[in-house]
Amino acid sequence: MERLKYRDILYDDRQIGLWPTDKLKRVPKPTNDIVGTIERRDERESPFGKSLFGEYGEEIQREFMRMTRRYPLGASFWDMTDIVNNAILRKRNPVAPERAPIPEDPRVLSRHIKMLGHFLGADLVGIGPLSQSAVYSHNMKGRELEAPFKYAIVLLARKYEPTWNAANGWEEIVDPASFQAYQRLLMQTETMANYMRRLGFEAEASNMNRYLTLMPQVVLDAGLGEVSRMGIILNPFLGANFKAACVLTNMELEVDGYIDFGLQDYCSKCTVCAQQCPSGAIPRGPKTLYNGYYTWKLDSKTCSDFDVLNKEGCVCGRCTKVCPWHVPFAEPRDFDAWDGSNEWLHKYVDAQKARLVAENYVHPTEATDKWWFQLDEQDGKLVFYDERNEQKVCKEYPLQR
């Protein structure tokens, strides 16, 4: 314990991580109005769940079943995620019977866990209370879920900028770009949960393929964003260009609090995502009441159908790419001059919006940096489309299994 006195970073007020989270305005409740009880959701009732169970028809069910795996890089991510998940399920370490001799102060433990999250490679880490309304009632397999934990430690992984900027938002690489982030989060959250159990604390990871939690609410509650017009949570530094996973625990921690960077006002005056959405799933009008809170309600079936049936690529994330809160290649030092005000942030985002308009919503690297091949699995073979958006099969070769 004597050596702990040299661990200043655990005891002082220094910002943890590279992005200036300590300048964010903290508020006591979410910035979107919650007026009723938020009901727990069944994962089978999500648009992807309904696609899987055939509620949207045979074609959507068939295409959903092969959605990620029909593009070979997507299939590779899927396989590796599956292998790691199965290994974890077979060999999950138990909670140590005795607590490790470490400080009990929630603030010190919170700073320690956040440092760990960044050390593991997370771009941002936040801690929030775990609301039971954020826990799925059942998973896709129909298993009843319980998560008797007090806190969620949330990790964000930014999608790989050079590739994401070179894509139009619904090409073949879009799903692998998400899975690349999911894969990192899987290793980060499982390592963190494993470590916490070794210290004698209950901890369970919630990540890709085994999500126990609806991530938007968990991300919101951990002070990592606000509700956006896209219907998902947007972070002031990354926009919505990230994926999230979390570790649920009963270790006594200090929560970060909600944030207010003026997004409700900004989105009420901006409709870029709605205009650029290829399926028209994002509303252009005001918020409406949904499941106990006011939000811009995405037409999630229309969005999901576009994802599943996309013949020009695989899945879609066009809205997150063109939202001006996603500033391509943004770095923490871009915020050095930020005085903590929402006005400064909104001007920063307005400048990106002006660049988007000047570029006609096409990032310059889209013309030069598409490194992935246009492949698709059809009837057990990989086919190559020689021209984007024209499904001409110019080459066929047997699928490598």
Binding interface with ligand SF4 (CB under 6 A): 228-230, 234, 266-267, 270-273, 277-279, 281-282, 298, 303, 306, 316-319, 323-325
Query: Hey, what are 336's tokens?
Result: 């050095």
Residue 306 half-sphere exposure toward CB, CA atoms < 13 A: 17
Query: Hey, what are 116's tokens?
Result: 């760990």
Q: Which is nearer to ligand SF4, 349 or 382 (CB)?
A: 349
Smallest separation (angstroms) from ligand SF4 to the CB of 397: 31
Smallest separation (angstroms) from ligand SF4 to the CB of 25: 18
- H or E segment to which residue 127 belongs: strand 124-129
Asked if residues 384 and 393 have their Cβ atoms less than 8 Å apart, the reply is: yes
Q: Which is nearer to ligand SF4, 120 or 232 (CB)?
A: 232
Smallest separation (angstroms) from ligand SF4 to the CB of 125: 23
Q: Which is nearer to ligand SF4, 64 or 201 (CB)?
A: 64
Going by the DSSP 8-state scheme, the letter that residue 385 receives in this structure is E
Other residues' Cβ atoms within 10 Å of the Cβ of residue 76? 14
Smallest separation (angstroms) from ligand SF4 to the CB of 30: 16
Smallest separation (angstroms) from ligand SF4 to the CB of 172: 15
Query: Hey, what are 300's tokens?
Result: 């999630």
Smallest separation (angstroms) from ligand SF4 to the CB of 265: 10
58-65 helix and 300-309 helix, angle to the nearest 10 degrees: 60
Q: Which is nearer to ligand SF4, 196 or 234 (CB)?
A: 234
DSSP for 206-241? EBTTB--B-HHHHHHHTTS-EE-TTSSEEBTTTBT-
Other residues' Cβ atoms within 10 Å of the Cβ of residue 175? 26
DSSP for 238-262? TBT-EEEEEEEE-S------EE-SS
Q: Which is nearer to ligand SF4, 111 or 346 (CB)?
A: 346
Smallest separation (angstroms) from ligand SF4 to the CB of 342: 13
Q: Which is nearer to ligand SF4, 197 or 243 (CB)?
A: 243
Going by the DSSP 8-state scheme, the letter that residue 132 receives in this structure is G
